[in-house]
Structure 1
Amino acid sequence: MDVLATPVGTDRLVLRRFAPDDVADVYAYQRLPEVARYLYRPPLSRAQCAELVARRAAAELRWAVDGDDIGLAVCRRDEPGVLGSVVLTLRSARARQAEIGWVFHPAHAGHGYATEAARALAARAFDVLGVHRVFARLDVENTASVRLCERLGMRREAHLVENDLDGDRWGSEYVYAALAADLVR
């Protein structure tokens, strides 16, 4: 049984389960070097996107043990197509802590879609899934995600210096976090 009823609606968006016909839309942004750069991995191939979409489409939305995650496609209410995705991962069931993340096609930047989708998923994390703390880890050079975290009311809790290797570049990360009372709804 899925723990989170989908789709999740906002004023302009629908967060829904992935469907098999989402592959082309997902590949359109996951193949871009400027998207993969902040994910510390190479761009995805079409076959990798097809595998990702198939796995997400078939996944039961469980929320019980460390590592369980909920990944949703983000779509506009008034137009077909996937703009990006949001994911919530249970990092500590005992401490009720979850990591939130997002990946969007750069063509949709600057419209507030990522903020709206992340806000809706974070609210469900607190209100439906019983999460105590939501956090995000992001590359310090990813200024768009830094601003998104701040718009959500998350606070910067850590600056991890050269903690991960992105090809031959050492990347540094920020950790942002919020409790339910911190979230700007």
Structure 2
Amino acid sequence: MLSSHSDQASGAAPQQPARSPDSIAFEDIWTAAKGGDPVPSRNAVDLRRFAKFAANMAIIEPDPSALSLPFRLCGSWFFDLFGFDLTGMDYLEFVDPAIKQNAHAYVMACLEQPCGLWQRTPAQVDNGELAQFEYTILPIAKNGGAADHILIFVTRIRLASGEMPTVKRIEHSTVWQWLDIGFGMPALQNTDRPF
């Protein structure tokens, strides 16, 4: 975790963002799943290893030639969060239009120079509040070999009302950092928020 960014006021003392224990445990299981390979194959992402996280996991198959991040698999929690099955839908349809380019670029960077990405991201929900989410994003390979998919683990950090409203739009991340998985980190600027 050598590269990080948070949107704090310029006079504020910098704080190292804290990943949740679940985020760290998810990365540990991802690491075990890859064995001696650079990244785990999609077949290695199975319920025996990932059972604790399965409801909150999704697999996205980025399109390198188009601005598209389609969901290939989604855990049941995503249905509860959005109110419908996201499988086959494009993640970018749910984000603030201003961050679509960055979202795609940062996901592609996770594949081109294999690395992970951790972030805290607010989302507008149907009752008008902002719900805070934690994303842990790690690369995987559909058929082994080079990374070409991403595995995402998403959890809610807080919602003031305690309700479970439906997500309407995903906003800019407020805190993020690259996760070094042994290949260094991309050269994208820290001032560019990923998504």
Shorter-chain TM band: under 0.3
- Greater share of residues in helix: 1
TM-score for both structures, normalised by structure 1: 0.28
TM-score for both structures, normalised by structure 2: 0.27
- Higher RCO (CA < 8 A, seq sep 6+): 2
